[in-house]
Amino acid sequence: MPASHTTQTIRIGLVAGEPIRLEGLTIIFEERPTPGKTQLVPVIGPIQELLANPSVEYLVVDLNSSSGGFDTVEAVRRTRPGMRQIVIGPDNEDELVLSSIIAGARAYLDSSAGPDTIRQAIEIVVSGSIWAPRRLLSKLIDRLLNVPDAALPNEPLHLTARERQVLELILTARSNREIAKALGIEERTVKAHVGRLMRKAGAENRIELSMRALAGALAPDSKSRDKES
């Protein structure tokens, strides 16, 4: 008998003050997933209800029509620090993009982004990566490198050969899926490596992990032999 494929369902909260903007966002979710792919389901309601709903782990925040604006992003960070946010806002606002990511957003898209682009960004965030212009990620890392030395580990943390490979690809803003393809391993294996890297570095997200790596807090372990697939 052929193997059965179970479709995973992920609920995405939508925050937009204008009904027409909210209706536009719901178009993103009309596409039916192929067998085995993730089903994205929109959840609409006041921000307080979305934050209180444990089944909603992702949030799309439209800064252009949300009454709270950027304050909404920061409020979500304080109330539900583990909630991943996808922010839609003005174009050519580098400082706003950087501030949003620092405040916990995992993706930033400008207002002209179409439904396909927004859905792709959501899927990238669901896969565990970040969606933002690479030039701004580089700028953000440069900024984070200015944190006090006391915030970094005193001794370099040693990595296996495979962890080093994964880290190098993270530094190029690759998603888990792209890393898995590049290394010829399963995506879930990549996710496990990323989790270990974050724990070793004491990092909460990929940006902080990248910052610590570039600051020299992570070093390859010459004594370890990576036998993981």
pLDDT digits (tens, 9 = 90+) for 18-55: 777 788 888 888 777 666 667 888 999 888 999 999 99
Average pLDDT, stretch 222-227? 43
Q: Given a cut of 70, is residue 173 above it in pLDDT?
A: no
Q: Are 120 and 100 in the same domain?
A: yes
Over the stretch 88-113, which tens digit does the pLDDT of each residue have?
A: 988 777 778 877 877 778 888 888 88
> Does residue 38 lie in a domain region?
yes
Q: Are 126 and 194 in the same domain?
A: no
Of 132, 167, 187, which one is at a domain's C-terminal end? 132
> Does residue 226 lie in a domain region?
no
Token pair 């001794």 is found at 155
Over the stretch 112-128, which tens digit does the pLDDT of each residue have?
A: 888 888 888 888 888 87
Of 107, 132, 157, which one is at a domain's C-terminal end? 132
Average pLDDT, stretch 58-82? 81
Q: Are 108 and 213 in the same domain?
A: no
Verdict on whether the full-model pTM lies above 0.75: no
Q: Are 115 and 214 in the same domain?
A: no
Q: Given a cut of 90, is residue 189 above it in pLDDT?
A: yes
> Does residue 115 lie in a domain region?
yes
* 134 vs 84: CA distance, rounded Å: 19
Q: Are 103 and 212 in the same domain?
A: no
Domain range for 59 is 9-132
Q: Are 128 and 159 in the same domain?
A: no
Total number of domains in the chain: 2
Average predicted confidence (pLDDT) for the chain: 77
> Does residue 137 lie in a domain region?
no
Of 132, 163, 183, which one is at a domain's C-terminal end? 132
Q: What percent of the chain has pLDDT over 90?
A: 15
> Does residue 66 lie in a domain region?
yes
> Does residue 1 lie in a domain region?
no
Q: Are 45 and 126 in the same domain?
A: yes
By the 8 A CB rule, do 90 and 64 touch? yes
Q: Given a cut of 50, is residue 3 above it in pLDDT?
A: no
Q: Are 205 and 95 in the same domain?
A: no
Instruction: Write the CATH number for 89.
Output: 3.40.50.2300
Query: Looking at residue 145, what is its pLDDT?
Result: 54
* 91 vs 108: CA distance, rounded Å: 10
Q: Are 190 and 124 in the same domain?
A: no
At residue 190 the predicted structure's pLDDT band, cuts being 50, 70 and 90, is very high
Q: Are 147 and 85 in the same domain?
A: no
